[in-house]
Amino acid sequence: IAGITQAPTSQILAAGRRMTLRCTQDMRHNAMYWYRQDLGLGLRLIHYSNTAGTTGKGEVPDGYSVSRANTDDFPLTLASAVPSQTSVYFCASSDSALTEAFFGQGTRLTVV
Amino acid sequence: KQEVTQIPAALSVPEGENLVLNCSFTDSAIYNLQWFRQDPGKGLTSLLLIQSSQREQTSGRLNASLDKSSGRSTLYIAASQPGDSATYLCAVTLFSGGYNKLIFGAGTRLAVHP
């Protein structure tokens, strides 16, 4: 049982470069989310998708984009990375508002 | 605006103690409350989910209670072990702005020493 798989697990990226963080779930959950976790700021929602084909902005969407072409995949793209995007990124999914949310193992991104 | 607060921020206890972690939230219009565990450098692992209509949930040595009217939840850990050392996060789920939001507390960092 894989649950949620994120790739890569860590990455060092030069500022200005484009980067896509991958997220795949095998639970057929409708909703998927991207969070970033920063010391002192906790977990903050970047983007969400309630169902395949729809996406929306969370608390801190600037500089990020997402797509949801199918149920299983929810990639997060940094169009032009900046040092303030250095963080740990978590992908999550849930079947509905009434069920458990499951998280991936995270991607540690350093922008230099 | 929903705010979630966890007290204490850090806790260090000897092995074998029973302990209580606290979580409070400002808006009672929640779908559920979830407790997670996070080990250093790892992702979040779901421990317990309490629906808004429930009062408590139990899993092994863990018991979580929910008092929606007062905006409080507690996670009770019985007979703590060094393997329980981790950060514990609570999160409430609510519908706002067109989507289901998980709002997290800052966490309680627990250290259980032998």
Q: What confidence tens digit (pLDDT) does each residue in B60-93 have?
A: 999 999 999 999 999 999 999 999 999 999 999 9
List the beta bridge partners of residue B104.
B91
Residue A96 pLDDT more than 90?
no
**A1 confidence band (pLDDT: 50, 70, 90):** low
String of DSSP letters for A2-43: --EEEE-SEEEE-TT--EEEEEEESS--SEEEEEEEETTTEE
Asked if A103 and B101 come within 8 Å (Cβ–Cβ), the reply is no
Confidence band (pLDDT; 50, 70, 90) for A37?
very high
**Average pLDDT value for residue range A80-106:** 92
Q: With an 8 Å Cβ cutoff, is A48 touching chain B?
A: yes
A106 interfaces chain B, CB cutoff of 8 Å: yes
- Positive or negative: CA dihedral A109, B1, B4, B5: positive
Which residues of chain B fall below pLDDT 50? Answer: none
Pairing assessment for the beta strands A107-111 and B4-7 based on DSSP bridges? unpaired
When pLDDT is cut at 50, 70 and 90, the band that residue A40 belongs to is confident
Tell me the two tokens of residue A29. Answer: 């959950």
**B2 interfaces chain A, CB cutoff of 8 Å:** no
Conformational region of residue A99, where left means phi above 0, alpha means psi within -120 to 50, and beta covers everything else:
beta
More confident residue, A97 or A99: A99
Chain A positions touching B106 (Cβ under 8 A) are 42
What pLDDT was estimated at residue B28?
A: 87
Q: Which tokens is A66 given? A: 């997402």
Contact indicator for B112, B51 with CB cutoff of 8 Å: no
Confidence tier at A99 by pLDDT (50, 70, 90) = confident
